[in-house]
């Protein structure tokens, strides 16, 4: 386990099922919704805000439209290159 600093002796009171979600986090693509506002955190459009147009879960790619562009430009990026700013209201 990465960043392990020590071992707690005795009964901790946590089951393996409760700790399992920390061992394998869910992919970021599952938290992205169509219509959400995101910020690009890497690549040539770093710092730009965009709206999610389409999600390709099998490739873990997201198609975005840049918000501040004069002409809507579709940009395809990997899901780990964006940060969610505002989720789409249900």
The whole-number pLDDT of residue 12 equals 63
Question: Does the domain formed by 16-86 have CATH 2.60.120.10?
Answer: no
Instruction: Answer whether 87's CB lies under 8 Å from 33's CB.
Output: yes
pLDDT top residue among 41 and 89: 41
pLDDT 10s digits, 15-73: 878 877 778 777 778 888 999 999 999 989 999 999 999 999 889 999 999 998 889 88
Would you kindly state where each structural domain of the chain is located, as residue ranges?
16-86
All residues at 6 or more sequence positions from 86 whose CB lies less than 8 Å from its CB, including other chains: 36, 37
pLDDT at 18: 80
């Amino acid at each position: 386990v990465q960043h392990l600093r020590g071992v707690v002796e005795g009964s901790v009171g946590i089951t393996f099922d409760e700790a399992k979600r920390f061992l394998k986090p869910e992919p970021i693509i599952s938290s992205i919704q169509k219509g959400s506002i995101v910020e690009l955190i890497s690549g040539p459009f770093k710092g730009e805000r965009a709206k999610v147009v389409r999600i390709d879960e099998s490739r873990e790619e997201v198609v975005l439209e840049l918000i501040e562009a004069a002409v809507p430009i579709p940009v395809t990026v990997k899901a780990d290159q964006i940060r969610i700013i505002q989720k789409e209201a249900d």
